């Protein structure tokens, strides 16, 4: 496994943990200070304003590569283990549901496009 595959695997894990933190932030068993940290991390991650602007070579991406994962790591340490395990289970269930629903939507779109193409061909040459 190359370094690029390892990086992709870490990015997937980070994305999954971010969703777990989202669920944990809404959980009543999560302390207020952990909720506050999670809100700050999410706000910073999606904010167009960074501590170090992205147009600065190398350093601009450093905050995204270091600060956000570090914040997620800290937030995971503040959330009680029981809450985290419950939220991980809920995230796993949701992933399965979303995959089936997304697959059904994609199949429906392809079928609709095929029907539209056949109808258009029939009108054009029929």
For residue 50, give the DSSP letter: -
Domain count, the chain: 1
The range of the structural domain enclosing residue 107 comes to 3-125
Reported pTM = 0.60
Q: Report the chain's terminal Cα–Cα distance, integer Å.
A: 55
Per-residue pLDDT tens over the stretch 79-115: 999 999 999 999 888 765 555 666 677 788 889 999 9
Cβ atoms < 10 Å from Cβ of 46: 7
In order along its 126 residues, the chain shows pLDDT tens digits of 577 677 677 777 777 788 888 889 899 999 999 999 988 887 777 677 777 777 777 777 777 778 888 888 899 899 999 999 999 999 888 765 555 666 677 788 889 999 999 999 898 886
| pLDDT score at 126 | 66
């Amino acid at each position: 496994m190359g370094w690029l595959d390892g990086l992709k695997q870490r990015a997937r894990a980070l994305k999954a943990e971010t969703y777990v933190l989202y669920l944990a932030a809404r959980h009543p068993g999560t302390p207020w200070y952990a909720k506050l940290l999670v809100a700050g991390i999410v706000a910073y991650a999606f904010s167009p304003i960074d501590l170090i602007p992205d147009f600065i070579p190398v350093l601009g991406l450093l905050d995204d590569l270091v600060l956000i994962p570090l914040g997620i790591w800290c937030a995971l340490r503040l959330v009680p283990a029981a809450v985290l395990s419950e939220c991980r289970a809920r995230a796993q269930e949701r992933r399965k549901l979303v995959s089936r629903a997304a697959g059904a939507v994609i199949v429906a779109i392809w079928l609709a496009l095929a029907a539209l193409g056949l109808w258009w061909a029939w009108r054009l040459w029929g």
